[in-house]
Amino acid sequence: MTMASDWYSFLEETEALSTESRDRLLQFIKAVNLAKTTFEEQEFLDELERLRRKHLKRTGSPAGRTLKAECAALNVLADLIRQGFTFREFRGSLQMQDLQTADREARRLQLLAQRREHLRSESVQEFVRSMERRRFFGTKRVSIFSLMRDGRELADALRYPTSTDNDLEATIQPYLEFVEPDRRCEFTGLYLMDIWRYFRLTWTNRPKSIPGRTIMYLVRDRSAENHPVMGIGALGSSAVKVRKRDECLGWEPDVVVQELTEHPTTRTMSWLEKTVDERIAEIFIQDLIEDEILQARDLEEPGNELILALRKESEEQREIHRQAIGSSGYSKANDREKGEDQYWETRARSPLFRSKRAGELASLLQIKEVIRERPSSVSAKERLRLLLDTKEGSGAVRKVVRLARSLRVGTAIADLVVCGAVPPYNPLLVGKLVAMLSASPEMVREYRRRYEKRPSVIASSMAGRRVVRPADLVFIGTTSLYGERPSQYDRISIPGELLGGEADQPIKYRLIADTEGWGTSQFGDATTRAIQEFLQSESNGGRRVNFLFGEGANPKLRALREGLSALGFDEESLLRHGNKKSLYGVRLISNLQEYLLGQHKSPRYLFDRRNPAAKSERIAEWWRERWLRKRLQKTRPLEEVRDNTLIYPIRHRARVLLPPDAGAQERLFE
């Protein structure tokens, strides 16, 4: 990509596109720019989608590398145009103008465009219609509308409470309900998963799959018929590395090394050695012994020769894995018919995990060698000081910190990836209640119930046996949808004594930092699929980013990075989308750093974990008094609540409105 003033030429230096493909993409850009001058904003987005589909029909079913590259490039262009990027033809070449950092309204429009694309899917449209279609449940005819509270009724109940002392408890009675695939709503018979999914479709941003550990939940209102849904939320596995978050948690390697340098202790040196030894003992080595790559006694005094042999084995097995991926023989590693023990050992012996085991073992033994070089005649505290005085030694300590982080990041911390109110409750600050309940003792109990007996896939595949990590949720992180403050997480603080804890240790959402936008959210599913097909094309050398669990972090990001580069785009600038977000976190224990680093075996919670459902009721009571009562002193929130009606024609903001070209939605009384 070359620069011309504030415009950038692209797609010129890549061999992936033919001259004919470039010409067709130029014609697409010309048509788009003409449409932009002809249509209003929303109509333009519809016309953009029509032009994209028309272009794809011209290419037919792309079989060769060139046509697959063209389809991928077209989808990238369409996504970028939706984000606000501008393109033009200049002397026969394509040029792109950089998008300036988006403000809140621009970001909202970008997200709506992506959501609109998602709602065009036939499967999504059929799902929405099926949820809105009335069916009998017992003696009642019900649908998803049965779980929406009529705004007029709610506004009247809040304006004219039945209790003489203006108590709000009888009007809104929130409670948590956890979503599991086979559980149904007792009032409608609808699956809880489908209920959650339907209301998620009303969000500004499009839904995304949540990998790893996931807890979806509903907040419902016991005070009204059918217990309508007040809000939805979901916890998901955290990203492996987020620097600002990791600094807050106290497990960023540079921060830990600095602390240890200033305050070396005997206990810390013991922790370093124990962490390495325990991890080495957990790695499956039987096949490495069988193939005479190492002997068990070598783990005590490894030497450089063994470390080099393990690294060579790791590289060779990684190449075998790349060549074997997708073959019928490779998939047999996922067969559990022979029993769980055999299953995990089979996975451990696969090229992917043999490569990972050999590589990690080499790294651990190298750390052990570095630690062992310090003289044993001096005290442990002095050995640590001497270790940290060298570049090699401080580097080894950083690796141990990263190791400790990897053991906890997928099990002890989670991200609040979905959090918000469902109309008509959103003007009443129910989003704050949903956030509070995510950090409740009831959520901690549910997290433990679901995962305390579930084996860790990566750890078990590395150990060749079933490995279960602790299931103690101790920290929750989240980001605001927009980078501007205030957000719904501001000022959320639950008094510690309310939950049986200490008065000076509240459960509080704290602002950690404002982050620059980086990721894949600006690219749609169609673009990801098109790029993956392009990368997999045989004439492209069979390059492939695998979406296999354990193969590496964020395969979608890796695929987009490689695909954008191969197509001639500047992948670094396009993946840095510039949408700032505010990063928040809430600590649930007092010994957070010590527990996350493995220095303490047990977490010390800031609340009493007994009778967790009663604790959730106390949180709801606190929310009513701290937030709802003050909110009701204003007139506008009740007016916004009242606007949500369930009489025909339905004007309720909890209803998913499909795009105009999606066909008619069923009406409530049909």
Phi, psi of 548 (to 5 degrees): -95, 130
Mean residue pLDDT across the chain: 85
Whether residue 543 is predicted with pLDDT greater than 50 in this model: the reply is no
Mean pLDDT across 212-235? 96
Is residue 635 over pLDDT 50? yes
Tokens 């007040």 belong to: 230
pLDDT digits (tens, 9 = 90+) for 451-478: 999 999 999 999 999 999 999 999 999 9
* pLDDT score for 5: 45
The phi, psi pair for 82, rounded to 5°, reads -60, -30
Position with higher pLDDT, 163 vs 339: 339
pLDDT reported for residue 12 = 65
Quote the pLDDT of residue 60.
Answer: 59
596/559: higher pLDDT: 596
* pLDDT tens by residue, 371-410: 888 787 889 899 999 999 999 999 999 999 999 998 898 8
Q: Residue 327 has what pLDDT?
A: 55
CA-based Rg of the chain, rounded to a whole angstrom? 28
Return the number of other C-beta atoms located less than 10 Å from residue 401's C-beta. 22
Of the listed ranges 91-95, 198-202, 240-244, 344-348, the one predicted with least confidence: 91-95
The CA-based angle 503-507-508, given to 5 degrees, is 115
Whether a cis peptide bond, with omega within 30° of 0, leads into 424 is: yes
Residue-wise pLDDT tens digits, 86-139: 888 777 777 877 655 455 566 666 667 777 778 888 999 999 999 999 999 999
Residue 248 pLDDT greater than 50, yes or no: yes
According to DSSP, residue 589 is labeled B
d(CA 278, CA 274): 6
Token pair, residue 365, equals: 């033994």
> Can you give the pLDDT at residue 566?
84
DSSP readout, 25-83?
A: HHHHHHHHHHHHHHS-HHHHHHHHHHHHHHHHHHH-S--SHHHHHHHHHHHHHHHHHHH
For residue 505, pLDDT over 70 is answered with: yes
- Beta bridge pairs of residue 86: 97
Q: For residue 565, what pLDDT band results from cuts at 50, 70 and 90?
A: confident
The mean pLDDT of 587-605, rounded to a whole number, is: 95
Res. 333: pLDDT tops 80: no
Q: Are 487 and 514 in contact (CB under 8 A)?
A: no
């036939």: which residue's tokens?
A: 122
User: In this model, does residue 289 exceed pLDDT 60?
Assistant: yes
Mean pLDDT of 150-159: 92
Contacts of 572 (CB under 8 A, 6+ apart): none
310-327 pLDDT per residue, tens: 999 999 999 998 887 655
Statement: residue 551 has pLDDT above 70: no
Q: Return the pLDDT at 480.
A: 83
Residue 573 has pLDDT above 80, yes or no: no
The answer to whether the CB of 235 falls within 8 A of the CB of 455 is no
- Ramachandran region of residue 8, left (φ > 0), alpha (ψ -120 to 50) or beta? beta
Least reliable range by pLDDT among 113-122, 142-151, 517-526: 517-526
Q: What pLDDT was estimated at residue 517? A: 58
Residue with the larger pLDDT of the pair 477 and 210 = 477
Token code pair at residue 325: 């991926």
Would you say 288 and 313 are in contact if contact means Cβ atoms under 8 Å apart?
Answer: yes
Instruction: Kindly state the average pLDDT of the residues 538-548.
Output: 47
On whether the pTM is more than 0.85, the answer is: no
Q: What string of H, E and C letters represents the secondary structure of 595-661?
A: HHCCCCCCCCECCCCCCHHHHHHHHHHHHHHHHHHHHCCCCHHHHHHHCCECCCCCECCCCCCCCHH
Which of helix, strand or coil describes residue 399? helix
The pLDDT score that the predictor gives to residue 261 is 92
Please give the residue that has the higher pLDDT: either 70 or 11.
70
CA–CA separation, 292 vs 355, rounded Å? 16
Q: Phi then psi for 477, rounded to 5 degrees?
A: -110, 160
- Rounded Cα distance, 128 and 199, in Å: 10
Contact 525, 493 (CB under 8 A): no
